[in-house]
Amino acid sequence: MTNSNKKVRTLNSCSSTSNVEHRTSNSSSPTSNLPLRALVTGGAGFIGSNIVRRLLEQGSQPVVLDDLSSGYKENLLPEAKFVKGDVRDRETTEKAMAGCGVVFHLAASVGNKRSIDDPLTDAGINVLGTLNVLEAARQHGVMRIVFSSSAGIFGELKTLPIAEDHPQDPDSPYGASKLAAEKMCLVYNKLYGMRNVCLRYFNVYGLNQRYDAYGNVIPIFANRILKDESLTIYGDGGQTRDFVNVADVAAANIAAAFSPAARGVFNIGSGTRVTINELARLIQEAAGMEVGKEFAPPRPGDVRDSLADIRAAQKAFAFAPQTDLKDGLVEYMEWIKQDPLSGSMFEVRGSRLKKR
Ligand SMILES: NC(=O)c1ccc[n+]([C@@H]2O[C@H](COP(=O)([O-])OP(=O)(O)OC[C@H]3O[C@@H](n4cnc5c(N)ncnc54)[C@H](O)[C@@H]3O)[C@@H](O)[C@H]2O)c1
């Protein structure tokens, strides 16, 4: 179910509700108003580091604020200024933000399990940390924050495809803290005339995503393949997910940031879905290796199907995912095979891996 018209980059480039505001951008070139300096909180992480790389490619000067709690110094690029610090710390956040025209706010305690284990830390970073970023922005006259939200705010899925006004009933403290942070961003739009944008990501995958990525299926499958172990599929494998490549997520962030009139909340997915059985086939094909699969009982709480309705983002800031899943998986497997940090997480069975 992937879209074969989409493209992959080279390896080195690495219906609304009352609280949903959508404005259509008339800008034909969303990046034409690129502020020189942009703060990326969480810029040492998986998605943040891809945004930093793209900002540099487009001539902006990113500043990274990250405490390296789940990010990696290896993801930092020397061309971007790095401030090691916590988004909950007001002074550090204000210092990092000085001179910036826009903030990409990704720093977060990420994942449902982590939030169930430690809901106070989750809320401290995701809610109070976001408020701290909003307050710092207000002080510095930064009028736009692009906030990384999650499809986890929806909870149990009731309709497909999932539009922005789908009921929001999170199943974890993480989903609840992301929803609270979204609402704060929208309140600042109302109170202070800010133009904050919240992007709700579906299943993001791609370069710089390592096996430790809180239970994401693609790094787990990649890890199993590289250890020459069969893939475990929970349930019958007919469940579907919307996998969106991180390059498309980075592009969405930048397009949203620089589309003058875009505001509110937007779904960011590929707009296509694939079964887990099909994903297992595609990723083994991408690795050039067959490890087989085994089935385990379905996990309680797993949704059957997921698919983002991305029309609002298409309309507001011309979001158009470019990466076909098949190509993105080839790129990802090439990357993870040679990533030194991932290499230390498994014993690569080099002899069985097809060289491309
Ligand atoms: N990966 C996905 O599929 C996905 C899906 C939905 C939403 N998101 C959201 O996207 C954002 C980025 O996620 P990711 O997958 O890149 O995760 P990640 O863990 O790789 O990145 C998060 C970054 O934030 C940093 N960080 C954490 N707490 C911090 C703090 N208190 N102060 C400063 N820095 C801090 C970490 O060190 C890390 O570099 C998060 O906000 C996450 O909730 C991700």
Digit-coded pLDDT (tens) for 120-130: 999 999 999 99
Same domain, 223 and 342: yes
Q: How many CB atoms lie within 10 A of CB 32?
A: 9
Atom of ligand 1 nearest to the CA of 43: 39
Q: How many CB atoms lie within 10 A of CB 78?
A: 6
CA–CA dist 98, 331 (Å, integer): 36
C-alpha 147: how far from chain center? 10
Residue 333 and residue 283 in contact, taking contact as beta carbons nearer than 8 Å: yes
Give the model confidence (pLDDT) of 160-170 as tens digits.
999 999 999 99
Tell me if 17 is assigned to some domain. Answer: no
pLDDT of residue 213: 59
Atom of ligand 1 nearest to the CA of 71: 39
Question: What's the number of domains the chain is made of?
Answer: 2
Q: Please tell me which residue, 26 or 199, carries the higher pLDDT value.
A: 199
For residue 334, report the distance from its CA to the centre of ligand 1, in Å: 23
Which residue has a Cα nearest atom 8 of ligand 1? 150
Judge if the beta carbon of residue 242 lies within 6 A of ligand 1: no
Q: Which residue has the tokens 């299943």?
A: 203
Give the model confidence (pLDDT) of 277-318 as tens digits.
999 999 999 999 999 999 999 987 788 999 999 999 999 999
pLDDT band at 347 (very low <50, low <70, confident <90, very high): low
Same domain, 99 and 171: yes
Same domain, 212 and 347: yes
Which residue has a Cα nearest atom 20 of ligand 1? 45
Atom of ligand 1 nearest to the CA of 111: 43
CA–CA dist 244, 202 (Å, integer): 7
pLDDT mean over 138-155:
96
pLDDT of residue 22: 39
For the chain, counts of helices (H) and of strands (E): 12, 13
pLDDT band at 263 (very low <50, low <70, confident <90, very high): very high
Judge if the beta carbon of residue 88 lies within 6 A of ligand 1: yes
Give the model confidence (pLDDT) of 238-248 as tens digits.
999 999 999 99
For residue 307, report the distance from its CA to the centre of ligand 1, in Å: 22
Q: Which two tokens stand for residue 32?
A: 């034409």
Residue 279 and residue 217 in contact, taking contact as beta carbons nearer than 8 Å: yes
Q: Which has the minimum average pLDDT: 22-36, 62-76, 105-119, 342-356?
A: 22-36
| DSSP symbol at 126 | I
pLDDT band at 256 (very low <50, low <70, confident <90, very high): very high
Q: Which has the minimum average pLDDT: 11-25, 100-114, 145-159?
A: 11-25
Which residue has a Cα nearest atom 21 of ligand 1? 45
Give the CATH number for residue 219.
Answer: 3.90.25.10
Same domain, 217 and 197: no
| β-bridge partners, 82 | 64
CA–CA dist 88, 303 (Å, integer): 33
Judged against a pLDDT cut of 50, whether residue 138 lies above it is answered with: yes
**Which residue type occupies 315?**
K
Could you list the active site residues?
Answer: 174
pLDDT band at 210 (very low <50, low <70, confident <90, very high): very high
Same domain, 213 and 349: yes
pLDDT of residue 182: 98
DSSP states along 252-294: HHHHHHH-TT--EEEEES-S--EEHHHHHHHHHHHHT----EE
pLDDT of residue 303: 83
Judge if the beta carbon of residue 331 lies within 6 A of ligand 1: no
The secondary structure of 216-254, three-state, reads CHHHHHHHHHHCCCCEEEECCCCCEECEEEHHHHHHHHH
Judged against a pLDDT cut of 90, whether residue 156 lies above it is answered with: no
pLDDT mean over 176-195:
98
pLDDT band at 15 (very low <50, low <70, confident <90, very high): very low
CA–CA dist 75, 48 (Å, integer): 9
Same domain, 172 and 227: no
Residue 217's Cβ-side half-sphere holds a number of Cα atoms within 13 Å equal to 24
Tell me if 214 is assigned to some domain. Answer: yes
Residue 28's Cβ-side half-sphere holds a number of Cα atoms within 13 Å equal to 0
Judged against a pLDDT cut of 70, whether residue 11 lies above it is answered with: no
Same domain, 134 and 50: yes
Residue 269 and residue 296 in contact, taking contact as beta carbons nearer than 8 Å: no
Residue 207 and residue 151 in contact, taking contact as beta carbons nearer than 8 Å: no
Judged against a pLDDT cut of 80, whether residue 137 lies above it is answered with: yes
pLDDT of residue 34: 62
SS3 102: strand
Tell me if 136 is assigned to some domain. Answer: yes
Give the model confidence (pLDDT) of 31-42 as tens digits.
455 668 999 999
DSSP states along 161-172: SB-TTS--B-SS
Same domain, 165 and 229: no
Question: Which residue among 67, 83, 110, 218 has the greatest number of ligand 1 atoms within 8 angstroms of its CB, and so is best to mutate?
Answer: 110
Judged against a pLDDT cut of 50, whether residue 17 lies above it is answered with: no
Q: What is the mean pLDDT of the chain?
A: 88
Same domain, 209 and 234: yes
Judge if the beta carbon of residue 66 lies within 6 A of ligand 1: yes
Same domain, 159 and 300: no
Atom of ligand 1 nearest to the CA of 69: 37
Judge if the beta carbon of residue 122 lies within 6 A of ligand 1: no
Same domain, 299 and 190: no
pLDDT of residue 8: 35
Q: Which residue has the tokens 């609280």?
A: 19
Give the CATH number for residue 100.
Answer: 3.40.50.720
SS3 273: coil
Residue 336's Cβ-side half-sphere holds a number of Cα atoms within 13 Å equal to 34
Judge if the beta carbon of residue 110 lies within 6 A of ligand 1: yes
Q: What range defines the domain where residue 232 resides?
A: 205-241+273-306+324-356
Same domain, 355 and 282: yes
